[in-house]
Amino acid sequence: MIKLLYITGLVLYLVSIGNETMAQVSFPELFEMAKSHSADIVKLETSKTYLALEESKIKVDNLAPKTYLSSEVLFAPYFNNNGKIISTNPNESALGYDVAITSGGLYSCLLNTEIPLFNRKQVNNLLDQNNLEILRAENQLNKLIISLKYSLAIQYLDALASQAEYQSLLEKSQLIKQQLDITKLLTDHGLYRFVDYRLMLSAYSSDSLNVENSKTTYRLKLNQLYTVCGVSDTTFKKLKDFNSEINCTKVDTSVFLQTYVQDSLSAIYQQKVFENQYKPQVRLYANTGLNSTTIPNMANHFGMSAGIQLTYTLFDRKQKKINRQQEQLIIEQAAREKEIKQFEIQKQKTSYFEAIKTLDKSIKKEEKLQNDYQEILSIYNDELKKAQVGIIDYLNFLEKINQNKLALENHRIERDKLVVEYNYWNN
């Protein structure tokens, strides 16, 4: 009895499970890196900036006065004109262009100004169309970020499942190593057979190989995750828990439905812009400077002029009517597609929410079972230290508890995936 107590005390001194210390990284950190690394996100953000600048361009092009310089020199010589090469009144025998066409030439240098009038409504139509394009770009950007978060979350959880398997096998291997030292000590003192020690040693060798294989698989998934996020660092890190929460926030208009709303608005605004051409176009213009058809007395041909121009479309061969019919078709199609998408969104949310509730019940049962197994494992460990349990029974129970632990972790990760799916459709 004294010998057994001595051995037990020595065993307790030897018990020590080594834990591999690793740096950690979380999903929010990787998600921020992935957003900054996405070429599509950068492209859409640039597009938004471009469209914002387009607003100023529309106002300048359609409201602001335009002032510019123009110059033209037209040389139209005459031959056989009594020696007058340049003339506005050539004789009948002169050789050259008809004076009615060339006026004898043109020598002008003018400062011109044009001012569009009464087109504020047309400009507002263009601005409305441009603002809608900005909203469409924002919606596309939101959908892209949502899709990136969804796909990255699924990949993160897959890597997390691989990490859970690696850690579970590592803990099991460390526990077997601990019990191997105990078994060796008890075998040396005749409390276990040598074959029991060899069984434990064989189990440890097999598990060590499984740990290395699992670690390689986890490292591969981790590096794939790094690649998506644009992380050049390939340090072996531990992934933090995902900590998923169901987003129960009620969304007025789903980001997936806004596309169809904007399609309808786009058809309306395009029609308004198309009909700008049917409104009266009024332009005030003026110029000043040199405008002469002859070189002699050119100094007397400085002056100025001003005028107003009106254009109005009278007949378009029913183009306006046809365009309105096309607009109505686009609106009706968008409304129908919105109804179909709305049904799909609601169906997906309901399905995933029910699946989450069902899985929660299973996880609670598995957690209780795992707690029971841990209590039994403590009893097994105590009895092994006293050589009161068979090695095969002990190893079989370790395998059973490890499988249950992995099943529990996989179900937790599966639940996280279901939450990711639900939150995706609830945007």
- pLDDT tens profile 20-60: 457 899 999 999 999 999 999 999 999 999 999 999 999 99
Please say whether the dihedral angle defined by the alpha carbons of residues 53, 57, 59 and 65, taken in this order, is positive or negative. Answer: positive
Provide the pLDDT confidence category of residue 389 given band limits of 50, 70 and 90.
Answer: confident
94 falls within a domain: no
88 falls within a domain: no
**What pLDDT sits at residue 186?**
80
Percentage of the residues of the chain whose pLDDT score is greater than 70? 95
84 falls within a domain: no
**What pLDDT sits at residue 21?**
59
**What pLDDT sits at residue 172?**
85
Q: What is the C-alpha separation between 292 and 300, in angstroms, rounded?
A: 9
85 falls within a domain: no
Question: How confident is the model over 136-159, as a mean pLDDT?
Answer: 95
Percentage of the residues of the chain whose pLDDT score is greater than 90? 49
Provide the pLDDT confidence category of residue 7 given band limits of 50, 70 and 90.
Answer: very low
**Per-position DSSP letters for 51-116, written without gaps between them:** HHHHHHHHHHHHHS-EEEEEEEEEE---BSSTT-SS-SS--TT-BSS-HHHHTTEEEEEEEEEEEE
Tokens 């490890």 sit on residue: 402
- pLDDT tens profile 311-370: 988 888 888 889 899 999 999 999 999 999 999 999 999 999 999 999 999 999 998 988
E strand map for 361-418: none
306 falls within a domain: no
Which residues form the domain of 143?
A: 2-65+119-282+319-425
Tokens of 174: 């460390």
C-alpha gyration radius of the chain: 42
Residue 115 zone, left/alpha/beta (φ > 0; ψ -120 to 50; rest): beta
309 falls within a domain: no
Q: What is the C-alpha separation between 351 and 156, in angstroms, rounded?
A: 23
The domain spanning residue 201 has which CATH number? Answer: 1.20.1600.10
Helix (H, G, I), strand (E, B) or coil at 291: strand
298 falls within a domain: no
**What pLDDT sits at residue 13?**
42
Spatial contact of 286 and 307, defined as CB atoms under 8 Å apart:
yes
The one-character DSSP state at 315 is -
- 370 CB contacts (<8 Å, ≥6 apart)? 401, 404, 405, 408
pTM as predicted: 0.80
Q: Which residue has the higher pLDDT, 17 or 140?
A: 140
Provide the pLDDT confidence category of residue 226 given band limits of 50, 70 and 90.
Answer: very high
- pLDDT tens profile 79-121: 877 777 777 778 777 888 777 777 777 889 999 999 999 889 9
Count of domains in the chain?
1
312 falls within a domain: no
Provide the pLDDT confidence category of residue 195 given band limits of 50, 70 and 90.
Answer: confident
